[in-house]
Homo-oligomer: A and B are copies of this chain.
Amino acid sequence: MPHGYNGKILRVNLSTGKVAAEEYPDQFYRQYLGGEGVIGYFLLKEVKPGIDPLSPDNKLIFAAGPLTGVPAGGCGRHSVGAKSPLTGGYGEADSGGYWGAELKFAGFDAVIVEGKAEKPVYVYIHDGKAEIKDARHLWGKKALECQNTIREELGDDLIKVAYIGPAGENLVRFANVMNDLDAAAGRTGLGAVMGSKNLKAIACRGHQRVSLAEPDAVKEIAKWIAQNTPITNKGMHDFGTARVVPALQSGGGLPTLNFQLGSIENADKIDGAYMRDTILVKRRACYACPVQCKREVKVDQPYKVNPMYGGPEYETIAAIGSDCGITDLLAISMGNEMINSYGMDSISCGATIAFAMECFENGIISSKDTGGVDLRFGNKEAMLQIIEQIALRQGFGDVLAEGTARAARKIGKGAEQYAMHIKGQELPMHEPRLKQGLGVGYAISPTGADHCHNIHDTVYTDYGPMLSALNPIGIFEPMAANDLSASKIRLLKYYSEFIHLLNSLVCCYFVMSLSLVGFDRLTQLLRSVTGWDTTFFEMLKVGERSVNMARVFNLREGFTAKDDTMPERFFAPHPSGPLKVALDRQAFENGKKIYYDMMGWPNGVPSTGRLAELGIEWAASMLPSK
Which residues in B have their C-beta under 8 angstroms from that of A519? 535, 537
Most B-side CB within 10 Å, residue of A473, A537, A596:
A537
Within residues 22 to 56 of chain A, which ones have a CB less than 8 A from any CB in chain B?
Answer: 27, 30-31
Who on chain B is nearest to A490 by CB? Answer: B613
Asked whether any CB of chain B lies closer than 8 Å to the CB of A300, the reply is no
Which residues in B have their C-beta under 8 angstroms from that of A612? 486-487, 489-490, 594, 597-598
Query: Using a Cβ–Cβ cut-off of 8 Å, how many residues does chain A contribute to the interface with B?
Result: 41
**A161 to B1 CA separation, bound complex (whole angstroms):** 57
Asked if A598 and B609 sit within 8 Å, CB to CB, the answer is: yes
Asked whether any CB of chain B lies closer than 8 Å to the CB of A493, the reply is yes
Asked whether any CB of chain B lies closer than 8 Å to the CB of A540, the reply is yes
Asked if A486 and B597 sit within 8 Å, CB to CB, the answer is: no
From A84-92, A112-120, A453-461, A600-608, the one touching the partner chain is: A600-608
**A597's contact among B520, B536, B607, by CB below 8 Å, is which?**
B607
Within residues 479 to 509 of chain A, which ones have a CB less than 8 A from any CB in chain B?
Answer: 486-487, 489-490, 493
Copies of this chain, complex-wide, total 2
Asked if A472 and B609 sit within 8 Å, CB to CB, the answer is: no
Known: A535-B536, A537-B472, A538-B473. A597 touches B609 (CB 8 A): yes
Who on chain B is nearest to A472 by CB? Answer: B535
Which residues in B have their C-beta under 8 angstroms from that of A598? 600, 609-610, 612-613
Within residues 503 to 537 of chain A, which ones have a CB less than 8 A from any CB in chain B?
Answer: 519-520, 532-537
Most B-side CB within 10 Å, residue of A534, A596, A598, A608:
A598
Please give the distance in Å from A273's CB to the nearest CB on chain B. 34
**A476 to B532 CA separation, bound complex (whole angstroms):** 12
Which residues in B have their C-beta under 8 angstroms from that of A607? 597
Mask: chain A, 363-401; 1 = CB below 8 Å from B; 0 = not: 000000000000000000000000000000000000000
Which residues in B have their C-beta under 8 angstroms from that of A465? none
Please give the distance in Å from A258's CB to the nearest CB on chain B. 34
Most B-side CB within 10 Å, residue of A600, A607, A612:
A600
Which residues in B have their C-beta under 8 angstroms from that of A536? 535-537
Known: A472-B535, A612-B489. A597 touches B597 (CB 8 A): no
**A27 to B471 CA separation, bound complex (whole angstroms):** 11
Asked whether any CB of chain B lies closer than 8 Å to the CB of A284, the reply is no
Asked if B609 and A594 sit within 8 Å, CB to CB, the answer is: yes
Asked whether any CB of chain B lies closer than 8 Å to the CB of A474, the reply is yes
Which residues in B have their C-beta under 8 angstroms from that of A596? 609
**A595's contact among B537, B599, B609, by CB below 8 Å, is which?**
B609
Which residues in B have their C-beta under 8 angstroms from that of A78? none
Please give the distance in Å from A29's CB to the nearest CB on chain B. 12
Which residues in B have their C-beta under 8 angstroms from that of A532? 471
**A598 to B600 CA separation, bound complex (whole angstroms):** 7
Asked whether any CB of chain B lies closer than 8 Å to the CB of A593, the reply is yes
**A472's contact among B486, B534, B540, by CB below 8 Å, is which?**
B534
Asked whether any CB of chain B lies closer than 8 Å to the CB of A220, the reply is no
**A347 to B94 CA separation, bound complex (whole angstroms):** 58
Please give the distance in Å from A512's CB to the nearest CB on chain B. 16
14 additional contacts, CB 8 Å, given A473-B535, A597-B608?
A30-B474, A30-B476, A473-B537, A473-B538, A486-B608, A486-B613, A490-B612, A537-B537, A593-B609, A597-B607, A598-B600, A598-B612, A600-B600, A600-B610
Cβ contacts A to B, 17 pairs, < 8 Å: A471-B532, A472-B538, A473-B537, A474-B538, A487-B612, A489-B609, A493-B613, A520-B535, A535-B535, A535-B537, A536-B536, A593-B609, A594-B612, A595-B609, A597-B600, A597-B609, A598-B612
Q: Which residues on A are within 8 Å of B, measured CB to CB?
A: 27, 30-31, 471-474, 476, 486-487, 489-490, 493, 519-520, 532-538, 540-541, 593-600, 602, 607-610, 612-613, 615, 617
